[in-house]
Amino acid sequence: MDRIYFDNAATTPLDPLVLESMMPYLTEKFGNPSSIYSYGRETRMAIENARKSVAKILNARPAEIFFTSGGTESSNTAINAAVYDLSCKRIITSPLEHHATLHCAEYINKIGIVEISYVKILSNGHIDITDLERLLEESKEKCLVTLMHANNEIGNITDIEAVGNLCKKYNAIFHSDTVQTVGHYNFDLRKLPVHFITGASHKFHGPKGVGILYINENIKIHPFINGGSQERNMRAGTENLYGIVGFAKALELATANHETDREYISNIKSYMQKKLRGNIANVYFNGDYDGKSLYTVLSVAFPKTEKSEMLLFNLDINNICASGGSACSSGADAGSHVIRAISNDLNQITVRFSFSKYNTKEEVDLVVEKLKGMI
């Protein structure tokens, strides 16, 4: 059986058109963008065009877009800046955040620089917005609120406009990890009340190792990585030129085909839901899977049996790629902090299936057929 890739929340395959756009910068257009001669001017131009294109799509200003090495660096930059440059003394976050956020916030807390508070989680995996307001209201210090737009493990989508408005009311800084939604949802950053958002192109058929950090123009911070004057003195280091070109192209393609891709992928997700329900007894879905949820992610709780304990292993030997939790921790097998936070049912085995425009219903049929024998 050919490999079936149902782990698109971990990463996606590169779109051939993205590769094509990157190729000249991997070959003949190799100049350092900081060089003043023609080779350098040509690659500098490519970066600035990429920035303009990304800014236009997100309805931001080019000066608000900074290229980074990915979601992790972008979130680390924003969180550190909020604490060290913007005087935030308390971080309000949730136990469901990606480790790029949680571990960064917890480290700054551990070294005694900030207090940390976790917003309550409702039974459907959404944050309790009333509790968020309580935390903001009770805080005597300036707060950084860092809450993700969509959860990479269960798919839940948070109303970041509502969160942003609360932050405005209480004069808090708002950072949102939007790694799972940039390239999948439309953003209007002129209107969205947010100070920082993040993106990583490998989540929407772009290259790995390149991301963006949006910094609202009213915010003035120091660089997180010090060195040369790249990215207008905000992020030192020779630019990932072909990555940046690929980021912009991937975002352009994702945006142009958004409606079609969204409908196609949503159908695959609901088809898999139906097939699982029809074929496997006592199957559950985590989070708000039918409501405010990513159309790409389906987190499935299978009943725990002697056989199903080997589920991930069995999927792998059957050439089916899926994740037990967050892809970024797969292999470590520490269990998922997200699943632990929403459910303490030890009699379930969770598998995250996540889809892209390259998946088909035939693949779903094959996977469900195989799963029947594995439970």
Ligand X SMILES: Cc1ncc(COP(=O)(O)O)c(C=O)c1O
Positions annotated as catalytic residues are 328
Q: With respect to ligand X, which residue has the nearer C-beta, 24 or 209? A: 209
Q: With respect to ligand X, which residue has the nearer C-beta, 103 or 134? A: 103
Q: Which stretch binds ligand X (CB under 6 A): 23-31, 67-75, 155-163, 184-192?
A: 67-75
Q: Which stretch binds ligand X (CB under 6 A): 25-33, 65-73, 118-126, 242-250?
A: 65-73
Sites for ligand X among residues 70-99 (CB under 6 A): 70-72, 98
- Minimum CB separation of residue 84 from ligand X in Å reads 21
Q: What is the 3-state secondary structure (H, E, C) of the chain?
A: CCCEECECCCCCCCCHHHHHHHHHHHCCCCCCCCCCCHHHHHHHHHHHHHHHHHHHHHCCCHHHEEEECCHHHHHHHHHHHHHHCCCCCEEEECCCCCHHHHHHHHHHHHCCCCEEEECCECCCCCECHHHHHHHHHHCCCCEEEECCCECCCCCEECCHHHHHHHHHHCCCEEEECCCCCECCECCCCCCCCCCEEEEEHHHCCCCCCCEEEEECCCCCCCCCCCCCCHHHHCCCCCCCHHHHHHHHHHHHHHHHCHHHHHHHHHHHHHHHHHHHHHHCCCCEECCCCCCCECCCEEEEEEECCCCHHHHHHHHHHCCEECECCCHHHCCCCCCCHHHHHHCCCCCEEEEEEECCCCCCHHHHHHHHHHHHHHC
Q: With respect to ligand X, which residue has the nearer C-beta, 9 or 276? A: 9
Residue 328 found at the interface with ligand X (CB under 6 A):
yes
Q: With respect to ligand X, which residue has the nearer C-beta, 154 or 189? A: 154
- Contact map string, positions 179 to 218, toward ligand X, x by CB under 6 A: xx-------------------x----------x-------
- Residues contacting ligand X: total by CB under 6 A: 14
Q: With respect to ligand X, which residue has the nearer C-beta, 337 or 370? A: 337
Question: Which residue type, as a one-letter code, is found at position 300?
Answer: V
Q: With respect to ligand X, which residue has the nearer C-beta, 14 or 366? A: 14
From 327, 338, 339, 371, residue interacting with ligand X (rule: CB under 6 A): 327
- Minimum CB separation of residue 70 from ligand X in Å reads 3
- Contact map string, positions 143 to 162, toward ligand X, x by CB under 6 A: -----x---x----------
- Minimum CB separation of residue 73 from ligand X in Å reads 7
Q: Which stretch binds ligand X (CB under 6 A): 14-22, 172-180, 285-293, 317-325?
A: 172-180
From 4, 47, 92, 100, residue interacting with ligand X (rule: CB under 6 A): 100
- Binding residues for ligand X (CB under 6 A): 70-72, 98, 100, 148, 152, 177, 179-180, 200, 211, 327-328
